[in-house]
Amino acid sequence: MTITATTFVRHSKRKIRTPCVSCGESYLYYAHDTSKALPWENGCSDCTERVGFDVRGPLVLTNADGTLHECSNPGGTDGPDSKRGSEAEKSAPKEQEPKVKQDVFTAIDALRVLFNSNTVSEDQVRDIVRQEVSSARVPTRTVVVRDKQSKEVEGSTHRQLADVVNALLVGEHVMMVGPAGTGKSTIAEQAAEALDLPSYSLSLSPQTPASAIIGYMQAAGEYVGTLFREAYEKGGVFHFDEVDNSHPSVLAVINAALANGAMAFPDGMVKRHPDFRCVASANTYGRGATRLYVGRQAMDAATLDRFTVITIEIDEALEHALCQRETSNEQRVNDVLTYVRKLRKRAEEHGLTVVLSPRASVGMVRLLEAGFTWEAAVDARIRRGLDDATWAKLTGRA
């Protein structure tokens, strides 16, 4: 089977607003007929930017499959070359397409012009389109299927959310380990949503007392409970944030809670609910301080043994999507991400004590949108007081 490429490059992904006056067909699109392009005419700037090469030729009506719409009045209501028709199309707001769809359109349009009227095999078309789509960075959508019922987690998700949810589904408690700003806290919240369970969280520090977890008895003999007690007794996903920053006595309490099917609280023994799950997040693997995270505590082996450890890395597709939420300027997003990722890679290569998480990328986009100059945004969100020697190494000027 072969496919004959056409010479039409679609001008817009939006259908015409007024049906063809001759046949009434409305599922039509304006496209440039590149076979009738004149050497001296200017190209269409919008289409040239989208496709990647000069696109010229008069506007004509095409069918949904990209072929020329042929009837007694192929110009529709006003005709594609009339002022009203072309200007309305150019001034109409552009609909936002998912990037993966944009890439497919770009690949197909490129084929139509590059191969013009030549015959292209179906396998060639598939290979080119597959290559374009595979290079697109699309944020992950996570769907959980339980008892033949599916539930999609709202919004874009980290690509490793499914790993965390699967571990929780089989009864494991999870410790997520990764650099600051990789989305661990959000993963914990979305994991609870995916399991249709309440979500609770507590950020730990060396000063966090055990009573913040198990509660305490007042002088009058009344028990004061905690969110952990609520989750432990009634079910839910409880998130211990910064677990590697907690005091050893608090870790002992967590260990006791996870070790058995019941636990002693100040007001008595409480049975653990079957739907109780514990998620912890840390910047280290519980073996003590590191070059980047100097204040972290070593965790005892018994506590670590209670968890399935999942390493959370930076999800660049999600990072891109988070930056896009801050601006409609795609070039600005690409410039920021290219810059930050270059510095991030260099920091890793040279072992620099610099954290450049997605928060840095998103923050820089926000500052640029607020009117900061590039230099000011870099100084406020990227350099942040780094000495000259470290900055020179990070930027490759050393």
CATH of the domain at 168: 3.40.50.300
Which pLDDT score, from 0 to 100, does residue 117 have?
44
Distance of alpha carbon 167 from alpha carbon 146, whole angstroms: 14
Largest CA distance in the chain: 93
Which pLDDT score, from 0 to 100, does residue 242 have?
94
Mean pLDDT, the chain, as a whole number?
81
Which tens digit of pLDDT belongs to each residue from 268-316? 999 999 999 999 999 999 888 787 787 788 888 888 999 999 999 999 9
Domain end (from 134, 167, 189): 134
Domain end (from 311, 336, 353): 311
Same domain, 185 and 272: yes
Distance of alpha carbon 183 from alpha carbon 358, whole angstroms: 9
Give the CA distances from residue 25 to residues 17, 63, 72, 359, in Å, rounded to whole numbers and listed in that order. Answer: 11, 9, 12, 49
Same domain, 307 and 327: no
Same domain, 238 and 327: no
Same domain, 290 and 339: no
Same domain, 129 and 168: no
Same domain, 237 and 302: yes
Same domain, 107 and 24: yes
Same domain, 299 and 166: yes
Same domain, 294 and 353: no
pTM above 0.75, yes or no: no
Domain that holds residue 168: 143-311
Distance of alpha carbon 13 from alpha carbon 73, whole angstroms: 22
Same domain, 157 and 306: yes
Which pLDDT score, from 0 to 100, does residue 86 have?
38
Classify residue 10 as exposed, middle or buried by CB count within 10 Å of its CB (0-12, 13-18, 19+).
buried
Domain end (from 88, 108, 134): 134
Q: Is 279 helix (H, G, I), strand (E, B) or coil?
A: strand
What residues pair up with 251 in beta bridges, in sequence order?
Answer: none
Which pLDDT score, from 0 to 100, does residue 77 have?
44
| Number of other CB atoms surrounding residue 127 within 10 Å | 11
Same domain, 327 and 235: no
Positions of the chain with pLDDT lower than 70, given as ranges: 1-6, 39-41, 51-53, 72-139, 398
DSSP 333-370: HHHHHHHHHHHHHHHHHHT-S----HHHHHHHHHHHHT
Which pLDDT score, from 0 to 100, does residue 260 have?
87
The stretches of the chain forming alpha helices (DSSP H) are 45-51, 83-91, 99-114, 122-134, 161-169, 184-194, 211-214, 227-234, 248-259, 301-304, 316-324, 330-350, 358-369, 374-378, 388-395
| Number of domains into which the chain is organized | 3
